[in-house]
Chain A
């Protein structure tokens, strides 16, 4: 601790005393003469004994009038009481809330089943805005026990609980298929097969529900089951009739067709007949459907 003492020195020839103290190796600070016979000085607390040793036998009255610096521990703490209280509260709250969970985050393919994960957590007393008292390993085991996940890791980072979960294979492939079927009657105009075996080719006509690609591949003359990864574009020929009370533009007809049939379509022919107060339109058009599976 480094501190300073302030003294009030009274006597004659104070300039002589200043020089004597300085020559004695006492660093002097804040020298002030209140009057001709009174001097205020501040020196290092360490040199207190030295100061009195030098002035011993001299005719000076020396009174200690104050302490300053970090020497005075009590004063140091009193002055910084609010700061110390604030720092203590901060440290205490940090210590107290280190186990507090603010958010639960689920990553990986298990995200789709995050509600299931949260249910398991809640059963173990873990939920958002609560204290985390459970063991991460226990929770991992319990999540895996549901049978929906092949991997699970639970990690607490700060006030967040991060869960990385992967669905079991049967869950992942749920949306995959072993065949690509046509959903309409029409002609195949493009066919891309990345996995599987095509049983139709471009130019073939297919009926609704007919298989286009099957989920197997021939490897060394051996049939191996695979999930189909393919895309097909089917062209259908259609005819539609409209009756309007007034004459309409082709754009309006196209708009209605797009809304009713398919986004991708081309009008081939429009036949228009006018009766007394009716306008009849017969429209021949081609619509295109793209189907894909896998990927």
Chain B
């Protein structure tokens, strides 16, 4: 069981019954990780707009950079100040 699955299990969430739109983990002001990313809509040092299968995520912060972008996973480094889903 990986880190996220462990958290889901503790929260009592079953993804097979109700699939999640996305999964994200924020590591304080150091970075974040998002699963189920469809594409990057816009990208700058202060703002990253990510498109999901359903909806979008807006990340605001300082000195943001994409550490890794492969498949549906996105790793962002930088001082994350705002994270919103719409």
Contact = CB atoms under 8 A, between A and B. Distances in A.
Chain A, interface residues (CB within 8 Å), range? 10 to 19
B70 interface: yes
Instruction: Name the residue in A18, A32, A36 with the highest tally of chain B Cβ atoms < 10 Å from its Cβ.
Output: A32
Interface in B24-51: 39-45
B83 interface: no
Determine the interface band of chain B, counting residues with CB < 8 A from chain A.
Answer: 10 to 19
A30 B40 contact: no
Main secondary structure of the interface of B (DSSP, over half): strand
Contacts of B79: none
A164 to B, nearest CB: 59
Nearest to A32: B65
A30 B43 contact: no
Contacts of A30: 65-67
A28 B67 CA distance: 8
B70 A32 contact: no
A28 B43 contact: no
A28 B45 CA distance: 16
A33 B69 contact: no
B45 A18 contact: no
B70 A14 contact: no
A29 B67 contact: yes
Interface string A9-23: 000001100110010
B44 A18 contact: no
30 contacts: A14-B43, A15-B40, A15-B41, A15-B42, A15-B43, A18-B69, A19-B40, A22-B39, A22-B40, A22-B69, A22-B70, A27-B68, A27-B69, A27-B70, A28-B66, A28-B68, A28-B69, A29-B67, A29-B68, A30-B66, A30-B67, A31-B43, A31-B67, A32-B45, A32-B65, A32-B66, A33-B43, A33-B44, A33-B65, A36-B44
Interface of A: 14-15, 18-19, 22, 27-33, 36
Interface of B: 39-45, 65-70
